[in-house]
Amino acid sequence: VVEYSGYDPSNPTKNMIETVNELGVDAAALCETITIICATPAQPSSVLAAANGYAVVAVNIRGTGCSGGAYDFFEPLQLLDGYDVIETVAAQDWVRGKVGMVGLSYPGISQLFVASTQPPNLAAIAPMSVYDDTALGVLAPGGLYNAGFALSWAENVLDDAVPFGQGWEKQVVEEGDTICVDNQKMRGQNIDAVAKARSSEFYEPNLADPVNIAKFADRIEVPVFMTGAWQDEQTGPRFVNLWDKLTNAPVRKFHAMNGAHADGLGPETLVEWKMFLDFYVARERQPIPGFLRTFGPSLLADTFGSTMEFPPDRLVDGDFDALRAEYESEPDITIYWDRGGDPANPGAVTSTGRTTLTSWGDRAVDPTRWFFSEDGLLDTDAPATGGGWSTWRANPERASRVTLPGDLQGQAFDALPEFQWVQDAAGEAAVFVSKPLTSDTVLLGGGSADLWVRSDATNVDLGITLSEVRPDGKETFIQVGLLRGDIRKPGPNATELDPAQTFLEADSADLVPGEWTEMRVPILPVGHVLRAGSRLRVSVHTPGGDQPRWAFIVDPDARPTVDIGHDAAHPSSIVLPVGRGIGGYSPNLPPCPGLRGQPCRNYVSYANDVKR
């Protein structure tokens, strides 16, 4: 398998000797039989692939590490390089058959780009923690520049792409690698990806389309395995938008869960990942190696802060072709419920239930609408008369606030991070809460907050926080919605559940101060079960303050007054995809805190400033 990115995949200086010794085992004595202990791949997917018996070829994208050329984010030469890597590796006499690709995040995203070039000897890809569209999926969700993750990530990659920027290059040069030292001379040709990303306030097709994976997903013609987390603090949850676009992949196996960026590496998805690679890359089915079952839980505990066993292997014994046929007959999609929700191991990367689906677009959900009311309730009935509006003032400082600030950012993958999920300040939000739900309510997919907005400014940036108010007095984060007000116009592909804005300059328009305007705020996709007795809470506010890393660039001097209508003429509401007959989840309320990626706090009621 190949791992390909601008991180440090080709760094040859790593080992696990100290880690293994800490487990009470003599690492040196094992190096000859378990070679990855003393010669460890730099990236986790490569480590796990090697541990499962795969030869790993780890390649730095041009302009990074010891590779030649100049760096520019997924420009055509990077894709062609990836094509050449696949074909070159497949031609080696030690390679049996075709080649697969592995990786999470950057090396996961790179797989989708490379696969679109259709290398003849690419067997399959297994991207984890990816997005559908560089511009709207992560760089500027809702049209708001994501300074907290996307722009800072781009800056970090550029910083690492300077001569000897990743550090390990110096060691290999000192050991005699003359090609690496010559390639450092080309780093001055690297493109400033941050400046390029910020060159326009709108979606510019000539810049954005080439890095919009959804537009070329149908060119991928190999089996695809994909994982993603609804609350992914880095790449977000829009990976699901790819699922129905990978129309020419002959086999598609998709896995989604609540959680953090690295959670695809959890044991219950890793056994599925290995099975996929066995069927379509190795073309030989083997169980998880015994040493990995022995040492793996302790090693994973270093990442996730809790010890977990690997589930039993599936589809191991029997005729290979029959086993693969059985695998292919299984539903394409698995939704994992309540990861971290085991009371005996809260916060662990294990679920308490799962649901399988044959397709994403045809999942059994009904658009269900709740209307805002003057008494702060979410009501299933639209307001009949009167009702007035709730008013609040924007706070630009909120846009830079995150729930894992500073050094706490390093806890993102931990079992129980110390989230700083701050209550909405008085006068800075409009909050609406439903009555206790009479039955379990399963949310599965994205939605739309359809708001009637009036302001004294020509632009208003809106954030939505969706949460669950539990019967035990706790509140659990569910998901967010985001929108820059001047690009609010619903697009030609809009549906009841998705405003599908184009974010084109041609579709932008200022607000008229003092006039009511309908603004549809897209709610990001999510899978979450609200148990009977819980209440749904919706907060409307300045974007920010509700995610571990996403923070936004807004006008630092803009503090407009914002009115949210809730009368018969201006019936603001939220519509969400509620599952119909979806089961497979535990009937029990999960511990709080516990659910991965979903902060928990004590519920505090909020008083809106209601006007009439």
Q: Looking at the structure, do residues 339 and 409 belong to the same domain, yes or no?
A: no
Whether residues 105 and 163 share a domain: the answer is yes
**Of the residues 357, 376, 397, which one is the last residue of a structural domain?**
357
In whole angstroms, give the CA distance from residue 124 to residue 215.
Answer: 20
Quickly tell me which residue has 């800490």 as its tokens: 22
Q: Domain of 48: which CATH number? A: 3.40.50.1820
For residues 2 and 5, what is the distance between their CA atoms, to the nearest angstrom? 10
CB 101 within 8 A of CB 3: yes
Asked whether residue 308 falls in the same domain as residue 443, the answer is no
Task: Tell me phi and psi for residue 468, to 5 degrees.
Answer: -110, 125
Strand order across the beta sheet in which 57-60 lies: 57-60, 2-5, 99-104, 122-128, 224-229, 252-257, 333-337, 353-357
Task: Provide the angle, in degrees to the nearest 10, between the axes of the packed helices 106-115 and 76-90.
Answer: 80
Task: Name 481's bridge partners.
Answer: 464, 523
Stated pTM of the model: 0.96
* Residues 300 and 389 placed together within one structural domain of the fold: no
420, 298: one domain: no
Domain final residue pick, 303, 335, 357: 357
- CA–CA distance, 179 with 176 (Å, rounded to integer): 9
Same domain, 350 and 369: no
Contact 82, 68 (CB under 8 A): no
Query: So what's the pLDDT on residue 32?
Result: 78
| 383, two tokens | 């307001």
Strand partners, 4: 59
Specify the CATH number for the domain of residue 498.
2.60.120.260
| Radius of gyration in angstroms for the set of CA atoms belonging to the chain, rounded to a whole number | 25
Look at residues 399, 448, 416 and name the one whose alpha carbon lies nearest to residue 546.
399
**pLDDT for res 33:** 79
Rounded average pLDDT per 10-residue block, the chain, 612 residues: 96 85 81 83 93 95 95 94 98 95 97 98 98 96 95 91 94 95 93 89 95 98 98 98 98 98 96 98 95 84 88 96 98 98 96 97 96 96 91 98 97 97 98 98 98 97 98 98 97 98 97 98 98 98 98 96 97 98 96 98 98 92
H/E run at residue 580: none
Owning domain of residue 140: 2-357
Query: Which segments of 361-420 does DSSP mark as H helices, in order?
Result: none
Asked if residue 407 and residue 334 are part of one domain, the reply reads: no
Same domain, 382 and 321: no
CB-based contact 128:104 (threshold 8 Å)? yes
Give the SS3 label for residue 30: helix
Question: Are the beta carbons of 217 and 248 closer than 8 angstroms?
Answer: no
3-state DSSP of 276-316: HHHHHHHCCCCCCCHHHHHHHHHHHHHHHCCCCCCCCCCCC
Same domain, 332 and 390: no
Do 493 and 572 share a domain, yes or no? yes
pLDDT number for residue 597: 98
| Contacts of residue 233, Cβ cutoff 8 Å, sequence gap at least 6 | 149, 260, 261, 404, 412, 547, 548, 549, 550, 597
Question: What three-state secondary structure class fits 124?
Answer: strand
For residues 490 and 560, give the distance between their C-alpha atoms in angstroms, rounded to a whole number: 23
Q: What is the count of structural domains for the chain? A: 2
Query: How many Å apart are CA 194 and CA 154, to the nearest integer?
Result: 6
Q: Which residue, of 357, 388, 416, is where some domain finishes?
A: 357
User: What CA–CA distance (Å, rounded) separates 227 from 275?
Assistant: 14
Nearest 5°: phi and psi at 301? -60, -30
Pairing assessment for the beta strands 609-611 and 389-393 based on DSSP bridges: antiparallel
Is residue 105 within 8 Å of residue 129, measured between CB atoms? yes
pLDDT score of 488: 97
Claim to verify: residue 323 and residue 375 sit in the same structural domain: no
- Per the structure block, which two tokens stand in for 157? 């990659």
- Claim to verify: residue 416 and residue 564 sit in the same structural domain: yes
Residue 29's pLDDT is 82
